[in-house]
Homo-oligomer: A and B are copies of this chain.
């Protein structure tokens, strides 16, 4: 149901029947390790290339989410997936394995919530019984594609972020018990003219702000409607900028009620500079850690705002600035009894 300019409300409140998170070696050292279903010690996952490792990560995560929902892959009506690889090959090859009708998405690191928003719309409109939404990223495949060969050991500035080796997946269904998706706000592209691909957090913060402000406006609610607002992958730099934007615009979100997935996934590890990033960061933190805490009753309503930087190495070379986007999805625990 359309509400306001860019927000969907889902009257049937589609259920997140299950979710899964899979990570790599660095994620295993982070403070959220216990919230991953599987943690791999080997960046290659036994495969012959980083790209095949990423595909394996994503396949495992989808399998785990389907298994946790008590379903078989044949019961999944649609698979919505995207990733950072050129031509989203991790997703397409996983779709080949799953043999589920497939809709390929691209929203860079905003893909996780783009997928969850669309999955919820499809389920809410009774166009499917079960939809699987997933995404992934792999540090080495992303470094290889977007940046310098890792063997160069190129230094990065403190504003840079570390692409997570992680995947997150969720099965959304029409009926059952679990956390529920109540609304979604689809972002506009915001581009403040920043051009530094090693400072994505600063570039993406205004897009996150715009989507969050639109969400509150469209639904005519205030931040108190949520126990937690969490951005995907702004990192320390972007988190700080967004916090300032909240203050400047009188959006009152107490510091303890605003978190960022990119800051949470690796804790205080200084080797990740400003924090984590990559499609798999927001996806694995949300589908692992955040939903686990909701299930434990710590929060009743959260707003997950996945942010994406929609540049490519080529647009950077051609002196373009960085277009950014953010998609927000609200997740609710209906009642304590209703939550598994």
Contact = CB atoms under 8 A, between A and B. Distances in A.
A152 to B, nearest CB: 20
Contacts of A240: none
A129 B186 CA distance: 15
Specify which of A8, A121, A315 lies most central, judged by the most chain B CB atoms within 10 Å of its CB. Answer: A315
A177 B73 CA distance: 40
Contacts of A92: 189, 310, 323, 325
Contacts of A5: 77, 101
A318 interface: yes
Given A101-B186, A107-B103, A187-B101, A126 B2 contact: yes
B127 A121 contact: yes
B103 A186 contact: yes
Contact of A93 (B77, B118, B124, B320): B320
Contact of A89 (B87, B88, B127, B311): B311
Interface stretch (A78-86, A164-172, A224-232): A78-86
Chain A, interface size: which category?
35 or more
Contacts of A118: 103, 118
A267 interface: no
Contacts of A125: 1, 121, 124-125, 127
Contact of A100 (B1, B89, B188): B188
A314 interface: yes
Contacts of A315: 51, 87, 89, 93
Contacts of A102: 186-189, 325
Interface in A291-319: 310-315, 318
A6 interface: yes
Contacts of A311: 87, 89
B127 A323 contact: no
A223 interface: no
Contacts of A106: 82, 87-88, 104-106
A6 to B, nearest CB: 4
Contacts of A187: 101-102
A95 interface: yes
A108 interface: yes
Interface of A: 1-2, 5-6, 8, 48-49, 51-52, 77-78, 82, 84-89, 92-93, 95-96, 99-108, 114, 118, 121-122, 124-129, 186-189, 191, 310-315, 318, 320, 323, 325
Given A92-B323, A125-B125, 13 more contacts: A1-B126, A6-B101, A49-B318, A87-B106, A92-B325, A95-B188, A95-B325, A100-B188, A103-B105, A103-B118, A105-B105, A118-B118, A121-B127
6 contacts: A6-B101, A49-B318, A86-B86, A87-B310, A95-B188, A121-B125
